[in-house]
Structure 1
Amino acid sequence: MNPNNADNPDTLRRVAPAAERNRGPILDVLSRVLPKTGMVLEIASGTGQHAVHFAAALPAITWQPSDPDAASRASIDAWRKNVSLANLNAPIALDVRSAPWPVPDSLAAIVCINMIHIAPWEAAEALFQGAGEHLASAGVLFLYGPYKRGGAHTAPSNAAFDDQLRATNPAWGVRNMENVVDLGRAADLWMEEAVSMPANNFCLIFRRTGI
C-alpha cells in the first residue's frame, strides 16, 4: 500500500493497488445485483477507494462505508471529501462482532469485500448474523474474495495465499464456500450466485428471504 503518489498528495488517502484493479469488475456485478435504491452498508471499507468508485457509479444508492480501524476511517473520509458525492456518507466505526450495529434496520444491501479470510471465523459468523438482523426482506448480502470449493483451493496461488494468511494469524485463512453458504442458511440468507472473478476470486450473492 502506497498512500503517496503524484495523483494523491493527500497522505490520509491510502491507495491499495488491488482495489484499483478489482473495483471495475466488482462494480460490474454490483450494478446487476444490488437494489436500485436504498442504503447500502459497506463492511470493512478499508482505504475508501471502493466506496467512492461505487457511490459515483450508483448515484441512486446511499453508500454507507464503515471500518473498525480509525486510520482506515480517516482514509475513507479523505477520499469522500475529495470527491464530494451527495450519496456517500461519512464512515462509521463498526466491528461486526460488536452488537448492536450502529446502522438502521431494513438496509437494501450489505457489501463486504476481502474481509472474512483476513479475520477470525467468528467475524464471518457475526457478519451473517448482523445481515440477517439488518437487511430488508429481499435485501442482498454481497461478498467478494477467494474461496475453496469442496475443501480444495481453486488455484495454486490461492493455496500459497492461504498459507501466508495462516502464518500471519492461525485464525485467518481462505474459507470453504460451502461453510459460508451454511452460515447464510442459518441467517435466512440464501446464495443465489457464485460469480467467478479475475485473480481466482468470487462474488457471492446472498438474498434475505424472510420478512
Structure 2
Amino acid sequence: MLNYPAAQRNTAPILEALLQHVSRTATGVALEVSSGSGQHVAALARQYPSLQWQPTELESRLLDSIGQHTAGLPNVRPARLLDAAGDWATQLPDMEAHSLSLVVNINMVHIAPWRCALGLMAGAGRLLRSGALLITYGPYAKDGLLTPQSNVEFDAHLRAKNAEFGVRDIRELEKAAAPHGLRLHAEIDMPANNKTLVWKKD
C-alpha cells in the first residue's frame, strides 16, 4: 500500500473545499480520474457514503494500492484502468452519457501531457449529467501569470523533467472545457499555493 505525504497533507483541505459545493448526502456515481495511491478516494468515500465511487488510474501498478486503501468501503468499486487522454466511451463502456453525479481529478493536469487535460474535459463533459460538477485540484497560472516564485520554479522543474508537463493556465483550461459544456463555477485558493477549480456541466 502506497502512502504519499502530499496526499496526506492535502486530503483535509480538498474535502473542506468539496463540501462547499457538493452535499454530503449526494447520490449517484462519482468518478475519480487518476486515483494515484488511493488515499484521496478512500477519504472521499468515507465523507460521501451515499455516492458510489469509481477510482481509475493509468498505471496498473497502482491498482493494488487503491484496492488496499479502499478495502472494506462498500461504496467504492474496484479500481479500473483509464487513460484520460483516450476515448472514455471505449474504456468505460458501461458508463452512459450524462449519468455521473461527480468527477474528481487531483494533481494530474500539471504532471501529464496537455492531451490528458483535453481528454479530461471531453470525458467529463460527456459523462456528467446537467448541473453536475468536475472538481480539479493543483497549481494553476491565470491570465498568463504564475505566482508565487515557488510555483514558477516547480513549473520549470516539471518542464525540465518532461517537456509535455507544466502548470496550466486557467484561461486555457476554460477554452478546453467550453466545447464540452463545462464552465468554471468556482475558484478556491488552497494551502501550498494550489487551487481547487469547480467546473459545472451546463
Task: After superposition, give the CA deviation of every residue in 1:105-130 in whole Å (9 maximum; x if it has no partner).
Answer: 21111100000100111111111011
Aligned to 2:172: 179
Aligned to 1:85: 73
| RMSD of aligned Cα (Å) | 1.0
Q: Equivalences for 1:28-177 in 2 at 5 Å?
A: 28-34=16-22, 36-81=26-71, 84-99=72-87, 100=89, 101-102=91-92, 103-105=94-96, 106-177=99-170
Structure 2 residue runs of 5 or longer lacking an equivalent are: none
CA distance in 2 between partners of 1:188 and 1:197 (Å): 26
CA distance in 2 between partners of 1:95 and 1:58 (Å): 25
**Deviant stretches of 4+, over 2 Å:** none
Task: After superposition, give the CA deviation of every residue in 1:22-78 in whole Å (9 maximum; x if it has no partner).
Answer: 000000111222351111100000000001111011111111110010111111011
Query: Partner of 1:98: helix, strand, or coil?
Result: coil
How far did residue 104 of structure 1 move? 1.2
How far did residue 204 of structure 1 move? 0.5
CA distance in 2 between partners of 1:122 and 1:169 (Å): 14
Query: Partner of 1:129: helix, strand, or coil?
Result: helix
How far did residue 96 of structure 1 move? 1.3
CA distance in 2 between partners of 1:31 and 1:91 (Å): 24
Aligned to 1:203: 196
Query: Partner of 1:19: helix, strand, or coil?
Result: helix
TM-score by length of 1: 0.90
| Structure 1 contact 31–58 (Cα < 8 Å) conserved | no
Task: After superposition, give the CA deviation of every residue in 1:152-174 in whole Å (9 maximum; x if it has no partner).
Answer: 11211100100110011000000
How far did residue 149 of structure 1 move? 1.1
CA distance in 2 between partners of 1:184 and 1:34 (Å): 20
Aligned to 1:18: 6
Query: Partner of 1:199: helix, strand, or coil?
Result: helix
Larger CA deviation: 24-33 vs 190-199: 24-33
Structure 1 residue runs of 5 or longer lacking an equivalent are: 1-12
CA distance in 2 between partners of 1:70 and 1:34 (Å): 30
